[in-house]
Amino acid sequence: MENQNNIGEASTNQIIKQVINYWTDRNKAVTNFINKYPDDAYYKEVAPNRSRAIYLFGHLIAVNDALLPMFALGEKLFPEYDAIFLSVPDKSVADLPSLPELKKSWEKLNETLADHFNKMTANEWLDRHMSVSVEDFKHEPLRNKLNVLINRTNHQSYHLGQMILLNA
């Protein structure tokens, strides 16, 4: 091996940083996509009879916003999005927030999460998230906050793959 790392606290911190970096990278990919076309384009379905791009964008905001309470970092910034983008599929609600409004929410949420994530210690990342009980976590220590972030990063990639199909 050319590079013999010292496995320990520093490597734990480094890997956590890598996971956060990739989360940030996928955030940026969504930001780039949503700023690529004129606003009107995002009101189209990504495929026939599937969700509109604007709905998927709002859905990502609602899902990512839930990280705040799940990580015990505070209340959701946009709890009103749940009834529009989380509990129901697209076209269930007549009036969506406008794209400019969603873009502002997205930016605000990403800044808020980044501020928290940059302050969180390795111990905090490896501690339980709020949807698992203290008792269950004793038996399932992988149900920690970092695992949720890995999951949500992939959730973002999943819907980005769909949004990118938009025939704008």
The least distance separating a second copy from the CB of residue 142, rounded to whole angstroms, comes to: 6
Q: Quick check: 160 and 29 in contact, CB under 8 A?
A: yes
Give the list of residues 6+ apart from residue 56 with CB closer than 8 angstroms, or none: 46, 90, 159, 162, 163
Does position 1 interact with a second copy (CB under 8 A)? The reply is yes
From 34-42, 82-90, 98-106, 154-162, span contacting a second copy (CB under 8 A) = 154-162
Does position 50 interact with a second copy (CB under 8 A)? The reply is yes
SS3 98: coil
Measured CA distances, 159 to 26, 115, 144 (Å): 11, 24, 23
Does position 17 interact with a second copy (CB under 8 A)? The reply is yes
Residues making contact with a second copy (CB under 8 A):
1-5, 7-9, 11-19, 21-22, 26, 46-50, 122-124, 126-128, 134, 137, 141-142, 144, 146-147, 150-151, 153-155, 157-162, 165, 167
